[in-house]
Structure 1
Amino acid sequence: MSTIHHPAEADVRRDAAVPTMRTWIGLAVMCFPVLLVAMDFSVLYLAIPTITDQLAPTAAQQLWIVDIYGFLIAGLLITMGNIGDRFGRRRVLLSGAMLFGAASAVAAFAPSAAVLIGARAVMGVGGATLLPSSLSLISSMFPDARRRSLAIGIWTACFAGGSAVGPVIGGVILHHFWWGSIFLLNVPVLVALLVLAPKLVPEYRSGTSEPFDILGVVLSLAGILPVVYAVKHIASDGLDTTGVVVGVVGVAALVAFLRQQRRARHPLLQIELFRLPRFSAAVTSALTCMMTLGALSYLTGIYLQSVLGRDVLAAALAGLPMAVAVAVFSLGASTVDAVLGTRAAFVLALLAAAVGNAGLLLVGTGTPLWMYLVPTTVAGVGYGIVFSLVSEVAVGSAPPERAGAASGISETSFELGSALGLALLGSLATAVFRADDGGRGFADTLGQTLDRARAIGDGSLASDARAAFVDGLHIAVGVSTVLLVVLAAVIAVVLRRRDPRGV
């Protein structure tokens, strides 16, 4: 992302060398959209059982409702950052906020699963403008390196904390209102952004005239979405011609995307950055951690309500310790880094996340709540530290002239990881659930199966379905544990040689 500014804007930057109270308030305003985008990744986790009852989505639709949002953000993030550079970051931010708000209102009153999926898709397009625009504006508002680092740290903590508290806030709202109210929560916050940002946040443009990599955008989406659809289809319907053909088309598009990126004069993805071991390690950490956290949050939201029988408020409160752990340790990661060194902090944090996931292998259909609270809180500690360290290592490992591109890829890895967690690990859990049917008459989802069991008065069907869901949960968190442990071992090797503290 270019950092060349018009002369008039350079004067603004010099005047802003010492941030005023107005600048810090502007930072708080820039954190509004970050919180919303992060929360909307996870706010549906506790709402899924209710949405299943009201809209009766299929298993594939249920997963699409949650993760179409994340895939469109991931696919468009870098592109929207480039648009902001050319046409004005504040202008793009406010335009995206209006789109996000309008789509939220449609989602709140969606009459069917298909309409809700479409509204979430439009929210993803709007959300893709909010993250890069807000981060780029913050970088421009704080030209001093030390204060800029603090501001970006606050921004990162808001993203990590928003993702963690989303299920909690969603659960509290659902306890009092209907499921669509979780989307209406976005509207007043976005109205405040639209009113305050023009007064507190200056406009910035890079003045770049580099062409858009439109072909790269098309090929990336043409690859990601069919591959994900194929995974979901195979998980819900088994291996068939449709799943295989769509999957092959998606893989072919991804191969074409990578080849096109190597030849493009102004590529969407700076592939050469992945030749830097530390950069690749940081991006892989973001991708893996968000993938495992997304799957964990989604599956445990269903587990608490449909397996343990907790109401939505109790399920929300049960998620609070992990949310607090993520938020607190994302803010305190710099202290952990200073004491242990980047390499040791990274490795221990990944292992903590792994231990937390592994602890969920002990839960069953009748286990006490503390057996859920302890491992998820431990996982939250690890995730919080990793999220804050990723940006520092990713951007710090890249050459200065490519720091913007490194930051964009790092952000994209967070969003893509969250969506992949639901697509891959969520689909894996669904496949295990369906495989455990054994002719007992399971529906596509646990919620639908429990409805069927209540309708026919079959208590054994409900018990078998809950046990089958727990089996799927165990497989998903088991795979997550293995991924995190392997990643910790890789990080220990990759960061060993170049940690300036020699840790």
Structure 2
Amino acid sequence: MNAPSANPGLRAWLGLLVILGPVLLVAMDGSVLFLAMPQISAALSPTADQSLWILDVYGFAVGSLLIAFGNLGDRYGRLKLLMIGTAAFGAGSLGAAFAPTPELLIAFRALMGIAGATLLPSALAVLSELFTDRRQRARAIGIFAAAFAAGFAIGPVTGGQLLSHFWWGSVFLINLPVVALFLALAPVLLREVRSGGTGRVDARSVVLSAAGTLLSVYGIKHLAAAGLTASALLTLAAGVATLTAFVRRQLRLDQPLIDFRLFRDRLFAIAVITGLLPLAAWSAVAYLGGIYLQSVLGLSALQAALVALPGAVVLTVTAVVTPMAVARIGTRAALIATHFLIAGGLLLLLPVGSGSGAGWYVAATVVSGVGYGISFAVVADTAVAAAPPERAGAAGAIAETSNEIGNALGIALLGSLATVLFRVTGPDLAATLPETLELPGLTGAAAAEAKSAFTTGLQVVGLVAAGLHAALGAFTLRSVRGRPRSPQPVDRRVGLSQEPQAVP
């Protein structure tokens, strides 16, 4: 059933408001646990690698399946998939809130990630059906992108606010009212959308990409937590081999799941890396920063949330105003500014110490937040503009996927780097700082050594991420000449303009 058509403008904007609910949830749940991890560690006692899996299995599930679910929606209906995904997201949230063990929490987070992969492409497709006018659709997609950026930014702040009053499971229960409201209103305000194609997906590509990513990350985490063991090295080697097979298969398919041939265009490659690297840096620093503010500086969850608030506000506002600025300064200048601003902000983490440093942390997140906000706003349109018009859908899909993969990779790789440094430079009494501080009979000297080791890990992660951003900024400055052409007037609906075909 649909709303009366006498006022289609009102129906469209109300439909947009309904769609933004799941979008905010998908983005928020990529970051809402950053301030909750000390409480989760105290309640469930996860190992070091389990802690990282709790955080990033969600992002890997979303990123690995985003394009596949985008194409499945063509076959079975976008609204139907959106409803099923939202209901599954709610079920995963409920299970995660009351998970009694780290293993179950990881499983429910994985379910939430699988469900989240159905939401973003379907939400964009349904939104594009609501706004048939090109100008209105561009405005609506801009609001969609800003909401997605805001969700990532306010996740830690929201988590901190809840943790100051409730137990850690409350960060998942807040999803349930939004899920219930969407399931009630979506059938009234939204219409079913299909592309008219078969929407076939190469299942082997999906399995290879997901398995290769998970095996690789599992190996990296075990190397960080336990050192050079045979099982970790074999797992990592198996993951790399599987990902290699995935890439080779994509190069043989006429309509691949991910079209790696698009990366031959230098601007497209820079745009996709700009979608991945800032999210990697932001997620790693937000995760480590949450532990630093609470376990090192001794702030409460509410105080830590307030410290994170300025950076979140700056990121969100920047994402909203950037499209207007890009119209004047051009995409090239925006891409360059993104990386140098993030690099400059991350370098401000170097003065933080184990006794004080909240002010430096605020300064770092505010300056880098401008760069993060720019990257949210320009990546997808830049990637689409760089691709041939007939591959615009594939380009948009890869750009959207790079955000989720970047969010998970930041915690997996940079988080593992911090784990290695803590294990090597710390007192070596436990694998993580929260575990160390909870040991009975811990001396003051050992606690101070552990806090100093963790702070060193945060500083090194900031330095490494700053170096990567500075290098990419310099490469963009040298490689991209003039003002990149404006995006083609196509839908940025993941998977709608391509129909991957399975081949033997």
Q: Could you tell me how far 1:143 is from its partner in structure 2?
A: 2.3
Q: For residues 442 and 11 of structure 2, what CA distance do their matches in structure 1 show?
A: 63
Contact 1:43 1:167 in 2 (8 A): yes
Distance 1:390 1:360, change over 3 A: same
Aligned to 1:472: 457
Does residue 495 (structure 1) correspond to residue 451 (structure 2)? The answer is: no
Q: Percent identity between the aligned chains? A: 48
Contact 2:75 2:199 in 1 (8 A): no
Structure 1 runs of 4+ aligned residues shifted over 6 Å read none
State which of 232, 245, 260 in structure 2 corresponds to 1:271. 260
Give the CA RMSD over aligned residues. 1.6
Distance 1:139 1:400, change over 3 A: farther
Q: For residues 266 and 405 of structure 1, what CA distance do their matches in structure 2 show?
A: 9
Distance 1:385 1:441, change over 3 A: closer
Aligned to 2:345: 356
Aligned to 1:77: 66
Q: Could you tell me how far 1:493 is from its partner in structure 2?
A: 2.8
State which of 465, 471, 477 in structure 2 corresponds to 1:486. 471
Q: For residues 117 and 135 of structure 2, what CA distance do their matches in structure 1 show?
A: 27
Q: Could you tell me how far 1:497 is from its partner in structure 2?
A: 4.1
Aligned to 1:231: 220
Aligned to 2:390: 401
Contact 1:41 1:163 in 2 (8 A): yes
Aligned to 2:251: 262
Contact 1:80 1:129 in 2 (8 A): yes
**Count of equivalent residues:** 483
Aligned to 1:460: 445
Aligned to 2:81: 92
Q: Could you tell me how far 1:403 is from its partner in structure 2?
A: 1.6
Does residue 445 (structure 1) correspond to residue 432 (structure 2)? The answer is: yes
Does residue 390 (structure 1) correspond to residue 379 (structure 2)? The answer is: yes
Q: For residues 167 and 326 of structure 1, what CA distance do their matches in structure 2 show?
A: 13
Comparing 425-434 and 269-278, the one that deviates more: 269-278
Aligned to 1:162: 151
Q: For residues 24 and 483 of structure 1, what CA distance do their matches in structure 2 show?
A: 40
Which runs of 5 or more structure 1 residues have no equivalent in the other structure? 1-11
One-letter amino acid of the structure 1 residue matched with residue 461 of structure 2: A
Contact 2:74 2:199 in 1 (8 A): no
Aligned to 1:3: none
Q: Give me the TM-score of the superposition, normalised by structure 1.
A: 0.94
Aligned to 1:427: 416
Q: For residues 231 and 31 of structure 1, what CA distance do their matches in structure 2 show?
A: 35
Aligned to 1:188: 177
Q: Could you tell me how far 1:333 is from its partner in structure 2?
A: 0.4
Q: For residues 500 and 104 of structure 1, what CA distance do their matches in structure 2 show?
A: 42
State which of 328, 351, 356 in structure 2 corresponds to 1:367. 356
Q: Could you tell me how far 1:19 is from its partner in structure 2?
A: 5.5
1:299-354 deviation per Cα after TM superposition (whole angstroms, max 9, x unaligned): 10000000000000000111000100110000010122123221112211221111
Aligned to 1:33: 22
Aligned to 1:66: 55
One-letter amino acid of the structure 2 residue matched with residue 492 of structure 1: L
Q: Could you tell me how far 1:442 is from its partner in structure 2?
A: 2.2
Q: For residues 240 and 468 of structure 2, what CA distance do their matches in structure 1 show?
A: 22
Aligned to 2:122: 133
Q: Secondary structure at the match of 1:111?
A: coil
Aligned to 1:5: none
One-letter amino acid of the structure 2 residue matched with residue 56 of structure 1: S
One-letter amino acid of the structure 1 residue matched with residue 193 of structure 2: Y
1:41-67 deviation per Cα after TM superposition (whole angstroms, max 9, x unaligned): 000000000000000000000000000
Aligned to 1:247: 236
Q: For residues 395 and 16 of structure 2, what CA distance do their matches in structure 1 show?
A: 22
One-letter amino acid of the structure 1 residue matched with residue 245 of structure 2: A
Q: For residues 483 and 252 of structure 2, what CA distance do their matches in structure 1 show?
A: 31
1:245-278 deviation per Cα after TM superposition (whole angstroms, max 9, x unaligned): 0011001101110111111243211222212222
Does residue 175 (structure 1) correspond to residue 164 (structure 2)? The answer is: yes
Q: For residues 455 and 77 of structure 2, what CA distance do their matches in structure 1 show?
A: 49
Q: Could you tell me how far 1:146 is from its partner in structure 2?
A: 1.5
Q: For residues 371 and 218 of structure 1, what CA distance do their matches in structure 2 show?
A: 43
Q: Could you tell me how far 1:234 is from its partner in structure 2?
A: 0.3
Contact 2:381 2:396 in 1 (8 A): no
Distance 1:345 1:211, change over 3 A: closer
Q: For residues 209 and 346 of structure 1, what CA distance do their matches in structure 2 show?
A: 37
Q: Could you tell me how far 1:140 is from its partner in structure 2?
A: 2.3
